[in-house]
Homo-oligomer: A and B are copies of this chain.
Amino acid sequence: MAEELRIIALGGYGEVGKNLTVVEYGEDLLVIDVGVAFPNVDMLGVELLLPDFAYLRENAARVRGIILTHGHEDHIGGVPFLLREVRIPVYGTRLTLGLLRGKMEELTSAPLPPLHEVAPGDRLSLGPFTVDLIRVNHSIPDGVALGVHTPAGLIVHSGDFKFDYTPIDGQLTDFAQFAHLGQEGVLALIADTTNVGRTGFTPSERMVGETFAHLFPQAPRRIIVALFASHLHRIQQVCEVAARQGRKVVPIGRSMERCVRIALELGYLRVEPDILVPQEALARYRDEDLVLLTTGGQGEPLSALVRMARGEHRQLEIHEGDTVIISATPIPGNETMVWRTINDLFRRGAEVIYYPHAQVHVSGHASREEIKLLFNLLRPQYTVPFHGEYRHLVAYADLAEEMGLPRDNVFLLENGDVLTLSATKAAVTERVSADTFTVEGTKVQRIVPAVLRERQELAESGVVLVAVTVDSRMGTLVAGPEITARGWLGEEAELGELLAAARLRVKQALARFSPRELQDPTLIANRLRNVLTRYFHRHTHFHPLVVPLTLETERQL
Contact = CB atoms under 8 A, between A and B. Distances in A.
Interface stretch (A128-136, A270-278, A334-342): A334-342
Interface in A499-557: 507, 510-511, 540-542, 545, 547, 549-553, 555-557
Interface residues of A, number: 74
Given A442-B540, A458-B458, 10 more contacts: A45-B460, A339-B391, A343-B391, A445-B491, A455-B458, A463-B486, A463-B547, A465-B547, A469-B553, A478-B556
Contact of A557 (B455, B465, B507, B557): B507
B40 A489 contact: no
A511 B556 CA distance: 11
A541 B442 contact: yes
B479 A556 contact: yes
A183 interface: no
B484 A549 contact: yes
A463 B553 CA distance: 25
B454 A391 contact: no
Interface string A13-28: 0100000000000000
Contacts of A432: none
A185 interface: no
Contacts of A545: 486
Nearest to A330: B335
Contact of A547 (B333, B469, B486): B486
Contact of A346 (B197, B391, B553): B391
A431 interface: no
Interface in A444-470: 445-446, 448, 451, 454-463, 465, 467-469
A254 interface: no
A104 B352 CA distance: 43
Q: So how many copies of this chain end up in the complex? A: 2
A462 B467 contact: no
B478 A478 contact: yes
A397 to B, nearest CB: 10
Interface of A: 14, 40-42, 44-45, 197, 332-333, 335-336, 339, 342-344, 346-347, 352, 357, 389-391, 394-395, 440-443, 445-446, 448, 451, 454-463, 465, 467-469, 477-480, 482, 484, 486-491, 507, 510-511, 540-542, 545, 547, 549-553, 555-557
Tell me whether chain A's interface is mostly helix, strand or loop, or mixed. Answer: mixed
26 contacts: A14-B343, A45-B460, A333-B336, A339-B391, A343-B391, A346-B391, A347-B390, A442-B540, A443-B489, A443-B542, A446-B490, A448-B491, A451-B490, A456-B459, A458-B486, A458-B487, A463-B463, A463-B486, A463-B547, A469-B469, A469-B478, A469-B480, A478-B479, A484-B547, A486-B547, A551-B551
A523 to B, nearest CB: 16
A339 B389 contact: yes
Given A462-B45, A465-B549, A556-B477, A490 B442 contact: no
Q: Which of A44, A469, A486 has its CB near the most chain B CB atoms (within 10 A)? A: A469
A467 B483 CA distance: 11
A550 B456 CA distance: 28
A52 to B, nearest CB: 14
A482 to B, nearest CB: 5
